[in-house]
């Protein structure tokens, strides 16, 4: 799980931190050390101002007006769609659907894709999935008589690829897996997944909620059929995300929701739908937030994504080295080349108590089941504490986290 512990010179972390107003805060008289990035990241001034600028200077509904403000806002909204396309290296902006986040994007695919399936058809997910990549499939399976199958996770927190290969058969209709685990940090081997899926020509959905932030992502290289991600983890606004669908999937799938904007014509007897992607964007969209997502992507693109990944992993390695000195502490998820997420428990201390004590020292971590209860059960815990790193975190903050955790142990045990 170790990596070369260095911060590449390509990133000026102090300058980056200066772009995030919230990082100037103190919590309980201590400098804020924000390590809850896997749940939601903070926002740079560039993104904050991009959203505020929409409302200040050029807001109107999109696609429907002929006046200047409507045209300006529509142009900015569709430019953000192009930002997403470029960020993912998708072939066409018409393959990008704006959603409220990864959750809605997965629900969209589950609802639309499973309408065409027959009772007994099978969907495959894994034990490491976020609830957002579990519950939609459970609902679809219950409604349509489908079978939900689960890929096992190993003791180190890796996908059991041999088990996945055993599960895929002539009844398999879709494989939906996380690209990077929000609990374990495990980065799944997408090439191996794709090879297994191709034996039965099974489409693959990847949940990129974490990977889009922490890894270089190229949907053409990933060779996936669907890819979802969310804005609020990518230094962008909440309530906005995107779905990429390969080829003509968006043309083949039925709409997810009905309403204005997603229609071509509405008659008393029937409805015809707009072309993709608008067929899947019913109602007034999150206009300013979509524009803010485009701004977040452009902000991230200022920095080398490989350098970001290596910086975050170096922070994780620094923290892991310190945590190894704490008696009774166990890191859950030790896969090779994992992302910068550390989930852990400590003998004699509840994760919620750990998080509350760390907060007294200004350190923000997450505690709970992290919307991954099947994974908690697999790992034999009810909850963990989780520290997760971002581009603006520093080595000093990694040390502050470890020091606060040592003090917490003295207090709790």
- Cα 75 to Cα 83: distance, rounded to the nearest angstrom: 12
Q: How far is CA 20 from CA 14, 25, 244, 261, in A?
A: 10, 10, 29, 36
Q: Specify the pLDDT at position 4.
A: 37
Q: Are residues 311 and 293 in the same domain?
A: no
Q: Specify the pLDDT at position 65.
A: 80
Q: Find out whether 400 and 33 touch, Cβ atoms under 8 Å.
A: yes
Question: Domain with 107 in it: what CATH number?
Answer: 3.40.640.10
Q: Are residues 202 and 277 in the same domain?
A: yes
Domain end position, chosen among 300, 322, 338: 300
- Token digits of residue 312: 């975050």
Q: Which of 114, 141, 224, 371 is catalytic?
A: 371
- Domains in the chain: how many in total? 2
Q: Are residues 314 and 263 in the same domain?
A: no
Say what the pTM is: 0.95
Q: Are residues 199 and 121 in the same domain?
A: yes
| Nearest CA among 41, 164, 88, 390 for reference residue 96 | 88
Question: Domain with 355 in it: what CATH number?
Answer: 3.90.1150.10
- Cα 1 to Cα 120: distance, rounded to the nearest angstrom: 40
Q: Are residues 198 and 338 in the same domain?
A: no
- Cα 108 to Cα 89: distance, rounded to the nearest angstrom: 22
Contacts for 259 with CB less than 8 Å, ≥ 6 apart: 282, 283
* Domain annotation covers residue 6: no
Q: Are residues 102 and 165 in the same domain?
A: yes
Q: Are residues 26 and 56 in the same domain?
A: no
Instruction: Enumerate long-range contacts of 57-61, CB under 8 Å, 24 or more apart.
Output: 59/287, 59/288, 61/284, 61/287
Q: Specify the pLDDT at position 126.
A: 98
Q: Are residues 99 and 220 in the same domain?
A: yes
* Domain annotation covers residue 223: yes
**For the chain, which ranges sit under pLDDT 50?**
1-9
Domain end position, chosen among 280, 300, 320: 300
Q: Are residues 227 and 284 in the same domain?
A: yes
* Domain annotation covers residue 37: no
Q: Give per-residue pLDDT as tens, 156-177.
A: 999 999 999 999 999 999 999 9
- Cα 328 to Cα 281: distance, rounded to the nearest angstrom: 50
Q: Are residues 358 and 267 in the same domain?
A: no
**Active site annotation includes 141:** no
Q: Which domain holds residue 180?
A: 48-300
- Cα 16 to Cα 303: distance, rounded to the nearest angstrom: 10
- Cα 31 to Cα 27: distance, rounded to the nearest angstrom: 6
* Domain annotation covers residue 5: no
Domain end position, chosen among 267, 300, 333: 300
Q: Are residues 254 and 360 in the same domain?
A: no
End-to-end CA separation in angstroms for the chain: 28
Q: Are residues 261 and 334 in the same domain?
A: no
Q: Find out whether 146 and 140 touch, Cβ atoms under 8 Å.
A: yes
């Amino acid at each position: 799980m170790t990596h070369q512990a260095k911060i590449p010179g390509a990133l000026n972390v102090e300058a980056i931190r200066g772009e995030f107003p919230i990082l100037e805060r103190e919590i309980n008289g201590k400098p804020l050390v924000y390590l809850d990035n896997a749940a939601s990241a903070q926002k740079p001034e560039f993104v904050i101002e991009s959203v505020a600028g929409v409302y200040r200077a050029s807001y109107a509904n999109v696609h429907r007006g002929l006046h200047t403000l409507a045209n300006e806002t529509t142009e900015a909204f569709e430019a953000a769609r192009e930002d997403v396309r470029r960020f993912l290296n998708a072939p066409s902006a018409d393959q990008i659907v704006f959603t409220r986040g990864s959750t809605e994007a997965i629900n969209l695919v589950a609802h639309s894709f499973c309408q065409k399936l027959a009772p007994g058809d099978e969907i495959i997910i894994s034990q490491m999935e976020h609830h957002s990549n579990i519950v939609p499939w459970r609902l679809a399976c219950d409604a349509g008589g489908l079978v939900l199958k689960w890929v096992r996770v190993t003791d180190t927190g890796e996908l059991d690829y041999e088990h996945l290969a055993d599960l895929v058969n002539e009844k398999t209709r879709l494989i939906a897996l996380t690209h990077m685990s929000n609990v374990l940090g495990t980065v799944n081997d997408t090439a191996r997944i794709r090879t297994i899926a191709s034996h039965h020509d099974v489409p693959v959905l990847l949940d990129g909620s974490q990977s889009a932030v922490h890894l270089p992502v190229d949907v053409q290289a990933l060779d996936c059929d669907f890819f979802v991600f969310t804005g609020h983890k990518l230094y962008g606004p909440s309530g906005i995300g995107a779905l990429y669908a390969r080829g003509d999937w968006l043309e083949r799938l039925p709409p997810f929701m009905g309403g204005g904007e997603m229609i071509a014509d509405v008659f008393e007897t029937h409805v015809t739908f707009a072309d993709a992607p608008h067929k899947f964007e019913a109602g007034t969209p999150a206009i300013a937030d979509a524009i803010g997502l485009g701004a977040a992507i452009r902000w991230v693109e200022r920095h080398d994504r490989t350098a970001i990944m290596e910086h975050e992993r170096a922070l994780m390695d620094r923290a892991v080295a310190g945590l190894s000195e704490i008696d009774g502490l166990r890191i859950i998820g030790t896969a090779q080349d994992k992302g910068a997420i550390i989930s852990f428990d400590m003998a004699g201390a509840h994760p919620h108590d750990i998080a509350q004590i760390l907060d007294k020292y200004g350190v923000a971590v997450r505690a709970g089941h992290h919307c991954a209860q099947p994974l908690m059960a697999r790992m034999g815990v009810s909850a963990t504490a989780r520290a997760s790193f971002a581009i603006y975190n520093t080595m000093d903050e990694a040390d502050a986290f470890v020091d606060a955790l040592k003090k917490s142990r003295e207090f709790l045990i």
